[in-house]
Structure 1
Amino acid sequence: MAPVSIEELHTFHRIDREVFFRLVIKLARYPAQSLLVMALWLWLESIKYPKFIHKMVDLSDSMIDSIANEAVACLRCLNLEYNNTPDSGGLPLTTILMQKKISLQFFRQKRFTIITGIKCVLNNICARIFTDILQYVLKGSPSPSTSTSYPSHYRPMVVPGFPHPLFGTFTIPPLNFEELDLLDPRIWIKMHPYDDTTDDDKTMFLTFSKGFPVTEEEVRHIFTSLYGDCIKILNMGIGNISEQVLFATMVVNNIETIDEILNGNHVAKFRLNGKHIWARKYEQRGHI
C-alpha cells in the first residue's frame, strides 16, 4: 500500500480547504466554529448529500457566510436544550444548495448519530487537512495555499473553543503524513465515518418503576420486537433477593438505534405487561 503525501492529501481535499480558508480568513469566522461547520458539511456529504461543499466554490463570500450561519443553527439543534425548530425547516439556503429537503428537525431526530459522525470527521479528517490554515490563523504563520504542500510535521496545537461540550477534544498531534496509508478510508471519507464509535457512545440507561419488577427477558423482548436485533450487551442493575432491579445499561449495535429509540427526545417511555421502562442516553459521570 502506497503511503500518502501531504500534497496528495491537500489535492484530494482542495475544495474543502478552499471553503475553510474563506470561512476563517476572508470571513474571519471563529476557527473552532468553522471546524465544526466543515465537519458537519463533510459528514452530510458522506451520507446522502454529495458535492455539497463543491457547490459553494462559485458562491460569494456573503452567501457562504449565510449558509455557514445555517450550519451553526444545525449544530445548536444538537443541544437538547435548543427547541427552536420552525415548521418551515429553518434551512432555506442549505435546502436550495443541496437540491434536497432538509430541516432542523432532522438534526434533532438524528442527534447522537450526527454528534458521533462530526466527532469522527473532526479528528480524522479536519485535523489532517486544515492544519496549515489553522497555524496561520492562530499563530500568524506565512499565509497558506489551499493546494500546495507544507512540512509534514506539525506541533500540537490548541484551538480555542475546545474541548467542546458536545464534540469533545480537538487536538492536532505531531504527525508525519508520509506514514499514513493512502487507502485509509478515514482520510478519503468514502464511507460512513463511524470508525471511532465506542460502546460508551452506544449505551443507553434504562430505569424501572419501583414495585413493578422488570426481567431481562422483558427488556430484550420490548426492544428487539420494536428495533430488531439491536442489543449488543444488556447489564441489569444489582439487586438482592429482597430488592428489585431498578435500572439497567444497554449497549446497542449501532449509534443510529439510539436516535430511533429517542426520536429527538431526552427520554423515551415504553410499556410492557403493565410495567414502564424509561430509556435515555447513558452519560458517564463527569461528562461535560
Structure 2
Amino acid sequence: MLFTRLVVSLGRDPGEAMKVVAYLVWLEKRSKDFRLVSKLLHWPDPSLNDLANEAILALNCIESDHFPYHVNIIGVLRLTQSVTQKCVTIRYLHENRVSIICAVTKIINDDEIFDDANELLRSIEEERMNNIVPRDDRTIFLTFSKGYPISEAEVRDYFSRRFGDIIEGIYMQEVNLTEQPLYARIVVRSNAINVIDVFLEGTGKVKFCINRKHVWARKYVGKSPSPSPSPSPGRLAFM
C-alpha cells in the first residue's frame, strides 16, 4: 500500500503520510483516473518522495486561512499536474480549500481505505513500546516435567485462551527430534507486561497444568555478563 511505502521505505511521519494518501485519493477522484494511486506504487522512491513533498506543500496551503504566497508560483506542483493531466495550481487549491479539506477528512475517516494503515500504526507503536521495555523484563521462564512432553502449540494455546493476544514469542529448549524440551521462555508484548504479575500471583514461582501436564513458571532472570578479568599488575618502570 502507498501508506506503507511512505512510512517504511521513505521514513515519513505516519500522521503526515495518512494525510498525503488521502490528498492523493482526492486527486484521483478529481482527475477521474481511478488507477492514479495504484500507478504511484510503481514509482521509484525519489520520485514518490518528491510527489509527497508537493502534497505537503498543497496541504499546508489549504490549511492556511491566508494565501501563503505573494504570487501563484508557476510549476510548484509539477508532478501533481503531470499525474493528474490537469493544471492544478496552488491558487486553485486555496480558493477551494473548504471543500478540499472536507473531502480529504472524509477520506481519512474511511476505515476501509486505511485498514492497512491502522494495522501498520499499531505495529509501529507496539515496536516502540517493545523497545522501551527490555525483553528480559517481559519474559516468563517455564519448566516441564520429564516424561510429559509439552509442545509450543500447547503453550501458546494455553496462554492465548487465558490472556488473549499477549505473546510476542515462544522459545522452546533446542533439542534433538527424539528428545523432550524441558524448558521454554515466553516473551509477552510490552502492553501486556502486567500479565506476568497477574499470572505469577505476586509470588516467585507458580505451578499449573497444561493438558493435565504439570508446568512451573517463574519470572525470567537473564544472565549477567561475565566481568572482564582484571589485568595482571605489571612491573612499574622508573625512569
TM-score, normalised relative to structure 1: 0.40
Which structure's relative contact order is higher, taking Cα pairs within 8 Å and 6+ residues apart?
1
Bigger helix fraction? 2
- Larger Rg, first or second structure (1 or 2): 2
TM-score, normalised relative to structure 2: 0.48
